[in-house]
Structure 1
Amino acid sequence: MATRSIEHQSRPFTSFPNANYILPSDLKEKERLNKQHSMLKRVFGEKIIFAPISIQPGDEVLETGTGTGVWLLDFRKSLPQSKDLSLYGIDIESKLFPSTDLSAGALHFSVCSVTLLPREWSEKFSMVHQRFLMPALRKTEWPRALSEIYRVLKPGGWIQLCEPGDWSAGPITEKHKAMRRALYDLRELDLECTKHMPTRLANVGFINVQTIDRAMPLGEWGGQDGRECRNDIIAIWRAQKTAILKSGGLGFVKSEQEFDTLIDDVEREWDATVGAETHWVAFYAQKPL
């Protein structure tokens, strides 16, 4: 028996064939992604490059799942030799691509999935950056995606990844976590991909695998960091409304109002729970020479 969808106000989503991405592709999401980048820079001490790579003139750098391209644009600004680099961004949705002037430096944006990169890109890039594809890639697609990144890296090149880790607060948060786990199980997504990433990277052939785990406060009590982390994650969870309600509420909510109330309650719990926290986890690894 098919699950009955719950009526609700939806947002635009990508139409890329066989896409499993559970977040929307609209102006609101574009704004969130750009704000998220600024927050993450502060989380990681204003660094956007973790791998010990020395970028040289003529190098080519790829960002998979580029979204708004905000990381690529910041990367270009951060390097004095950026005018001599070729930067590529791919995503399954072009509506998020930047509309800013891209003339200063070679920037190339195209619609493509990380699970099937162009054949002619083999051993092309010195570095590949990717973050937050946990709500996009099925468990079975992660090995394929990492293998494709491995293929397009030059020998000695570096991969850099970032994904959300675990989070904790109180009983309302635990209820939402159970609902989110049910959604991820239904969509065959990997809610614990940060735990599996080092092994997946090693299985593909990467060496020098490193992990950077940053815990950050959630909620008003945590000051600017707590507010910005809260605002970003709450916006993500509100944006997953369609995925949950189209699946009938997964036994946790029966209406759009119930869904909205649950997210409101989570937000209030974070503000009131000193010690509520979330983790952001970055990885980098090298393709052998």
Structure 2
Amino acid sequence: MAAVQLQKPTGRGNTFKGTEGIYLLPHHPNELERVKLCHGLMMSDTGNVLIKSPLPAAGSTIRVLDSGCADGMRTWLHDLSKLLPAYNWNLHGVDIHEDIFPSPERAFVPLDLRKHDINTEFPATWNWQNSFDIVHQRLLIWGIKTENWPAAIQRLLRLVKPGGWIELVEVVWVDNNIPIDANAQPELAKQRVLECWTCDYHGFDIQVATKLEGLLKNAGCANVTKYEYDLGIGAKANQEEWKAPSAEMWDEIFRSFEHKMPLEGIPGVAKTPEQLHVFLDKLNVEIKEHGYMPKVNFVIGQKPA
């Protein structure tokens, strides 16, 4: 997309730093709290489901890559060794911003974290091809453009050992089969418009979670399987302790879009950053009252031996 003129933000939304044009949300140390909250919510709502790929016998060494790993602490990589201690985990991760990586002495477990943009080829000097038992990627709907998903999956699949597994996890943020009563829940109805705009305007696919099975099959994977869970936010969070924090986290995600608001605004949502924040304040109240429950899809595929 050609550069567009943007409106001046209010400063209420979290700023970007070094990941503009790569990832649609801010991605720097100040954003890690949101990432960790999102991970904790997913663990709570799914009953601590970390991984659906088949695992070998207890005591086995499992070499894993997490694509889009954040800092690897108190998130998916760390919890593998914490919640599945019967295995010897060889943990690797890539992310687009190395400033968020912990120093070796701060890491809770041994981690090999490297800066890399999944939209580009992995360096041949890393010697990673055909080396991982499991390659995992989660919540990159705003990190991979619609037309780039097939190539991104092929890049990941080349890293998987023959017979190993690739696992993709995305949320069905907009389910057109579930209607919203705009009279009873006007802000949730407007949220759907905002969610679609964030993807449509910037070249991402709001429905990619529903397409993961087809993408893995087209990439040549066998034994492709989807597992579906509810992701409760606000009043629909699985545990009481998550109801308020999940609503606040969800609200803050969209405040960052004040930094990406074009001169014409967001059609059907807000004409200015100030109006965006007024809407999000109302949405926060409605989610705390009614809740929001999209589906999260875990989709696995096996690389042919």
* TM-score interval, smaller chain: 0.7 to 0.9
Aligned to 2:105, the other structure's residue is in SS state: coil
1:214–1:232 distance in 2 versus 1, CA, 3 Å: farther
CA contact (8 A) 2:15 2:259 kept: no
Separation (CA, whole Å) in 2 of partners of 1:258 and 1:92: 31
Identity rate, percent: 25
CA contact (8 A) 1:19 1:136 kept: no
Aligned to 1:264, the other structure's residue is in SS state: helix
CA contact (8 A) 1:67 1:97 kept: yes
Separation (CA, whole Å) in 2 of partners of 1:256 and 1:45: 37
The aligned counterpart of 1:214 is: 229
1:247–1:181 distance in 2 versus 1, CA, 3 Å: farther
**After the TM superposition, which residues 93-172 of structure 1 pair with which residues of structure 2 at under 5 Å, given as runs?**
93-99=97-103, 101=105, 106-115=110-119, 116-119=121-124, 120-166=127-173, 170-172=185-187
Choose the corresponding residue for 1:197, options 212, 215, 238: 212
The aligned counterpart of 1:283 is: 299
Q: Could you list the per-position Cα deviations for residues 101-132 of structure 1 after superposition, in whole angstroms to 9, with x for gaps in the alignment?
A: 36775421111122322332110100011111
- Return the TM-score normalized by structure 2: 0.83
Name the stretch that deviates more: 214-223 or 151-160.
214-223
Aligned to 1:24, the other structure's residue is in SS state: coil
Separation (CA, whole Å) in 2 of partners of 1:131 and 1:278: 15
* Alignment of 1:87 onto 2:94: no
CA contact (8 A) 2:78 2:108 kept: no
Q: Which amino acid aligns with 2:100?
A: L
CA contact (8 A) 1:33 1:68 kept: no
Separation (CA, whole Å) in 1 of partners of 2:208 and 2:277: 27
Separation (CA, whole Å) in 2 of partners of 1:44 and 1:142: 26
How many residues of Structure 1 are paired with residues of Structure 2 in the alignment? 285
The aligned counterpart of 2:197 is: 182
Q: Which amino acid aligns with 2:115?
A: V
1:152–1:230 distance in 2 versus 1, CA, 3 Å: same
1:188–1:34 distance in 2 versus 1, CA, 3 Å: same
Root mean square deviation, CA, Å: 2.6
Separation (CA, whole Å) in 2 of partners of 1:86 and 1:65: 17
Name the stretch that deviates more: 213-222 or 98-107.
98-107
Separation (CA, whole Å) in 2 of partners of 1:102 and 1:124: 27
The aligned counterpart of 1:37 is: 39
Q: Which runs of 5+ in 2 are unaligned?
A: none
Separation (CA, whole Å) in 2 of partners of 1:221 and 1:146: 32
* Alignment of 1:77 onto 2:82: yes
1:28–1:159 distance in 2 versus 1, CA, 3 Å: same
- Return the TM-score normalized by structure 1: 0.87
Separation (CA, whole Å) in 2 of partners of 1:199 and 1:81: 33
Separation (CA, whole Å) in 2 of partners of 1:164 and 1:35: 16
Q: Which amino acid aligns with 2:168?
A: L
1:247–1:155 distance in 2 versus 1, CA, 3 Å: farther
